[in-house]
């Protein structure tokens, strides 16, 4: 087999992210340093970043500095091309603001959905000027990008129209890519990029992944990517995984744990080698390697009764390992001063307890305000559930109201992305 090119797929950096008020810029900087070194060591020709570069649509100065310093290092490296698409956390206009300058450095940024599907198809060239890779660079598709609202439609109607609109858009872009491939004489590999929630994808509690659309009805299947696509580089889900058993359709996952639910999970990037067994390059073979990312901070979720918590915190203190910790108390005994007792255990240690949760409280069905429950222990949907229960809303109405609530949240997220 003859090597054609090698690319690296990563996503969901969430630069500028904070965890319970703690900034994570040092971890992000360490990851970007590692990524630069890995690209150099692996001889990567193309870097693909599948969305959620930043954690918010208005990134901090430090987050912007990390991003632009990284791109400057890429421009000076042996990596020939960088392709970046926007995710649902990103501001399309912010990402695309310097696109003209970056394109001169072979850094291609697609923030907003291009006016035509053909404009979402990029042809990347090698050092000799020949086409080496065709990229379908599809950013996060918002509701308004793929469908027109209709009066009187139900939540299910909207979700079905959205799912069909997304499938139609990907079909148009991949069809345009196939046409370009034929024009080039065939043999140039095609890669698709997207930021979406594929049906059956795995998430974890506390990972910060937002439902992109209303409920799960608009989650798309892997069938929207035609068989002639050699690799599909996806972003949005933070757990590294392949989709529906397809080796070449993958989420790279986030480079660091977004929450304590991901603590201990091995993070990775996908290194993909394109190979050809014919001089004419008509047949492409894809060799995928998961490159483990070292942890840049020790994070741990300690769950159990009081003796279990005491023992594990003692072990961490004895090991003198700087750690961020979440404590989840599951014992039967009432510990009225749980927070004070935990705090006393970590005095003069490198352990920083970011969150303490008493499951005896949060597992109860609350009807009204309870002093034991903290707002930071609840998601926005938990709060809405409490409202439904507190106001005695009939259970038969819950599903429709929750779906409408998610639609409101989606509208707010989209408005934020345009800010």
d(CA 266, CA 255): 9
Q: Helix H segments across 188-256?
A: none
313 neighbors 346 (Cβ within 8 angstroms): yes
The position carrying tokens 């500095």 is: 65
**What does R_g of the chain's alpha carbons equal in angstroms?**
23
**Distance (Å, rounded) from C-alpha 348 to C-alpha 321?**
12
Q: What is the dihedral of CA 207, 213, 214, 218, to 10 degrees?
A: -110
What are the backbone dihedrals phi and psi of residue 33, each rounded to the nearest 5 degrees, phi first?
-60, -45
Terminal CA-CA length for the chain: 49
Q: What is the pLDDT of residues 373-385, one digit of tens each?
A: 555 556 677 778 7
CA dihedral of 107, 112, 116, 121, whole degrees rounded to 10: 30
Report the candidate in 279, 346, 361 with the shortest Cα–Cα distance to residue 310: 346
Note the pLDDT tens digit of each residue in 321-357.
899 999 999 888 877 789 999 999 999 999 999 999 8
DSSP code per residue over 247-262: EEEEE---SS-SSGGG
Which among 100, 112, 13, 97 is positioned nearest to 56, based on CA atoms?
Answer: 13
Mean residue pLDDT of the chain comes to 85
User: What is the secondary structure of 259-298 as a DSSP string?
Assistant: SGGGTTPPEEEEEEEEEESSTT--SEEEEEEEEEEPPSSE
The Cα–Cα gap between 288 and 292 comes to 13
CATH of domain 299-417: 3.30.160.720
Q: CA-CA distance, 195 to 201, in Å (whole number)?
A: 13
And the tokens for 185? 């004489």
DSSP-derived 3-state class of residue 348: coil
* In 39-196, beta strands by DSSP E: 46-50, 81-85, 107-110, 121-125, 131-137, 190-195
Above 70 in pLDDT, residue 21?
Answer: yes
Q: What is the mean pLDDT of the segment spanning 266-277?
A: 89
Superfamily of segment(s) 2-293: Metallo-dependent phosphatases (3.60.21.10)
Query: What is the model's pLDDT at position 337?
Result: 86
Per-residue pLDDT reduced to its tens digit, 83-139: 999 999 999 999 999 999 999 999 999 999 999 999 999 999 988 888 999 999 999
pLDDT digits (tens, 9 = 90+) for 233-247: 999 999 999 988 889
pLDDT at 80: 95
Model confidence band, residue 369 (pLDDT cutoffs 50, 70, 90): very low
Task: List the chain domain ranges.
Answer: 2-293, 299-417
> Is it the case that residue 214 has pLDDT exceeding 60?
no
What DSSP assignment string belongs to 105-166? TTEEEE-SPPSSGGGGEEEEE-TTS-EEEEEEE--PPPHHHH----TT--HHHHHHHHHHHH
Helix (H, G, I), strand (E, B) or coil at 162: helix
Supply the DSSP symbol for 48: E
Residue 345 region, left (φ>0) first, then alpha (ψ -120 to 50), else beta? alpha
Average pLDDT for 305-319: 94
CA-CA distance, 304 to 119, in Å (whole number)? 54
Give the up-direction half-sphere exposure of residue 316: CA atoms within 13 A in the CB hemisphere: 26
pTM for this prediction: 0.82
CB-CB contact of 356 with 330 (8 Å): no
């Amino acid at each position: 087999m003859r090597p054609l090119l090698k690319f690296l797929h990563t996503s969901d950096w969430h630069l500028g992210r904070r965890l319970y008020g703690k900034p994570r810029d040092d971890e992000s900087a360490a990851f970007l340093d590692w990524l630069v070194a890995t690209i150099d060591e692996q001889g990567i020709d193309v870097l693909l970043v599948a969305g959620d570069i930043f954690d918010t649509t208005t990134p901090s100065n430090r987050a912007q500095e990390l991003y632009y310093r990284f791109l400057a290092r890429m421009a000076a490296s042996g990596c020939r091309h960088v392709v970046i698409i926007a995710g649902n956390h990103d501001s399309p206009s912010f990402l695309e603001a310097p696109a003209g300058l970056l394109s001169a450095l072979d850094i291609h940024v697609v923030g907003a959905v291009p006016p035509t599907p053909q404009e979402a198809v990029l042809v990347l060239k090698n050092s000799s000027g020949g086409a080496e890779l065709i990229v379908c660079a599809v950013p996060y598709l918002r509701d308004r990008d793929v469908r027109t609202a209709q009066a009187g439609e139900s939540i299910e109607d909207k979700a079905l129209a959205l799912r069909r609109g997304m499938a139609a858009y990907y079909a148009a872009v991949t069809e345009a890519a196939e046409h370009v491939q034929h024009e080039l004489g065939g043999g140039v590999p095609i890669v698709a990029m997207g930021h979406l929630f594929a049906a059956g994808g795995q998430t974890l509690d506390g990972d910060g992944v937002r439902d992109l659309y209303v409920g799960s009805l608009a989650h798309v299947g892997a069938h929207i990517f035609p068989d002639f696509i050699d690799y599909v580089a996806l972003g949005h889900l933070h757990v590294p995984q392949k989709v529906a058993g397809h080796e070449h359709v993958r989420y790279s996952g986030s480079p660091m744990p977004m929450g304590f639910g991901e603590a201990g999970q091995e993070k990775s990037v996908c290194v993909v080698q394109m190979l050809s067994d014919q001089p004419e390059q008509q047949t492409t073979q894809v060799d995928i390697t998961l490159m483990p990312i070292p942890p840049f901070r020790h994070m741990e979720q300690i769950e159990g009764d009081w003796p279990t918590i005491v023992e594990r915190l003692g072990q961490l203190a004895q090991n003198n390992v700087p750690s961020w910790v979440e404590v989840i108390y599951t014992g039967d005994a009432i510990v009225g001063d749980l927070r004070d007792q935990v705090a006393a255990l970590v005095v003069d240690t490198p352990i920083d307890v970011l969150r303490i949760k008493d499951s005896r409280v949060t597992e109860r069905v609350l009807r009204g305000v309870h002093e034991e429950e903290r707002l930071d222990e609840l998601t926005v949907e938990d709060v809405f559930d409490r409202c439904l229960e507190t106001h005695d809303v009939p259970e038969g109405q819950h599903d429709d109201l929750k779906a409408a609530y998610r639609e409101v949240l989606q509208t707010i997220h989209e408005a934020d992305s345009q800010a």
